Structure 1
């Protein structure tokens, strides 16, 4: 069994807080929740939105400018999120990315999106491990294109899990990732998923990893939500070996993080609060879940709802309505399923 401590070298550099643009706040009901038909799934922020619109028109320029800016400013969490969304878009509309790579074959940003896209395409296949081995050179090229960037190493960590890499190799990738950013959330999530997969549902060890990472991270870092992800993984399995008090402590830590994140800036707050709302529901803490739904407002995210339903937005709205009813809040009478739904998030 891999040593949890060996996967956590000293965390010595402060995290860099993510940026996101302000967005209009939806009209709220008396209980602080927007109407069902105002809730959208995975709505892009004001920086990503124009890049996706341009990509839909076949132009890669705005995406190139956006990702170059994240690299120049070392906005690694934003960069990771944008690369994932752009790669997801390129699965069905790849022309703009092909043009970008043809025009700038060594561009670090084009290489990153291409590497993510290659992993995404291989993941659903029964022959995933073999297909992923063919992707390795592209991930290596993305990592070498800018030695400061931890995001290609997050892609490499996902790649290692999908290709069933051993613990020694994964540990080497992990050390390379955290040298670049010791509190990069995406890399920590990738490591947590690998450990859960490697230990076949041994939740105590995953919790140890998540708790140690959160203890070493600054108070406002998204890594503070890592124990909440471990708690959800535990609840999705048999939960053996994890005390209820530990699950509640993970939720409490995520609530403290949510309290620090601005209510009018949806990213990364929305991702964390959606995770937290579902965890609180699973723990029977519905009044606190209602508070998180109020903070979420119109910003539903695919995770974690897509883990329990093929209709992530529908499940979000259904559970939100149940929580409202349990606390005497009157439903808004909106449709059962919102119509702002976007493509389902990748399953890895």
Structure 2
């Protein structure tokens, strides 16, 4: 089982929604496959740290235990009709199998029928429709435009546009020749400037993002603002504080090292003022 699907299954099992019994055999088998028959606490912690972002893609059309997962998801959905979790895992299976998005949209409809602003469901569909997977930039942009037009401020999937920007930047960085060398220019485009300015002016405010994965979204924002050398990047770093998520910092190496290095370039201006006042204070 790919680690991204494993993370989804664990999320369902540990969220208190009563699906452990249904998905338990699938999760247990996945854990044995990843950790071996007797995983140690240290190895579990290490693997968990790698689940913080998008997991590596499975080779197209291959997922050895797909049928078991699909069956478990449908069974869980019957038992917990109002829960979007099983449908979200099922959408992840279709992604890894690289099935036509036409097969994914009915599953997507089941997710948003149960939770109109299900963050993981939106991010799954965003990845599904990406040019790297089963869609195109046109399809992905249409999906995001439609969602953002009706999404309340601060809703759990609020980071759709920053994730699109992150995808564009990653494609540019990994491009050949001049494309890779000029990747940073993507942040000069109107879409990037608009997305970063809106997010940096609202997200870092205390209490603006209230969903469970708010810190994960703030880490994405800090990463993008840092690489864009945005004048307000310090606000995102201040909001993140000391809670660093592996994704997307691990794209450049060790997440903690990457975060610490970039944060030094964007010190909190409030701290500079405090140090200045202390320096001028009479002895």
Provide, for residues 252-299 of structure 1, a one-character-per-residue CA deviation record: whole Å limited to 9, x for no partner: 3433551455289794321111110111122221x3111111111121
CA distance in 2, matches of 1:182, 1:118: 31
Provide, for residues 61-113 of structure 1, a one-character-per-residue CA deviation record: whole Å limited to 9, x for no partner: xxxxxxxxxxxxxxxxxxxxxx948828x9xxxxxx9xxxxxxxxx5244356
CA distance in 2, matches of 1:264, 1:194: 25
1:290 to 234, 246, 252: 234
CA 112–279 in structure 1, closer or farther in 2 if over 3 Å, else same: farther
User: Which residues of 2 match residues 48-59 of structure 1 at below 5 A?
Assistant: none
Question: Which structure carries more relative contact order (alpha carbon 8 Å, separation 6+)?
Answer: 1
How many residues in Structure 1 have an aligned counterpart in Structure 2?
229
CA distance in 1, matches of 2:23, 2:193: 37
Compute the displacement of 1:214 (Å).
2.1
- 1:129 equivalent to 2:63? Answer yes
- Equivalence for 1:161: 95
- 1:203 equivalent to 2:117? Answer no
Compute the displacement of 1:116 (Å).
6.1
2:255 to 312, 318, 328: 312
* Cα contact 2:118–2:157 (8 A) shared by 1: yes
Aligned residue for 1:237, secondary structure, equals helix
Compute the displacement of 1:157 (Å).
1.0
* Cα contact 2:244–2:259 (8 A) shared by 1: yes
* Cα contact 1:129–1:163 (8 A) shared by 2: yes
* Structure 1 unmatched runs, 5+: 1-82, 91-96, 98-106, 331-348
CA distance in 1, matches of 2:242, 2:226: 19
1:255 to 193, 196, 200: 200
Compute the displacement of 1:195 (Å).
0.7
CA 152–208 in structure 1, closer or farther in 2 if over 3 Å, else same: same
Provide, for residues 31-80 of structure 1, a one-character-per-residue CA deviation record: whole Å limited to 9, x for no partner: xxxxxxxxxxxxxxxxxxxxxxxxxxxxxxxxxxxxxxxxxxxxxxxxxx
CA distance in 1, matches of 2:252, 2:77: 34
- Equivalence for 2:161: 227
- Equivalence for 1:179: 113
CA distance in 1, matches of 2:157, 2:216: 12
User: Which residues of 2 match residues 318-329 of structure 1 at below 5 A?
Assistant: 318-324=261-267
Greater share of helix residues, 1 or 2?
2
State the TM-score, normalizing by the size of structure 2: 0.67
Compute the displacement of 1:232 (Å).
0.3
* Cα contact 2:117–2:155 (8 A) shared by 1: yes
CA distance in 1, matches of 2:243, 2:86: 27
CA distance in 2, matches of 1:263, 1:220: 6
- 1:275 equivalent to 2:205? Answer no
State the TM-score, normalizing by the size of structure 1: 0.56
CA 267–261 in structure 1, closer or farther in 2 if over 3 Å, else same: farther
CA distance in 2, matches of 1:142, 1:308: 38
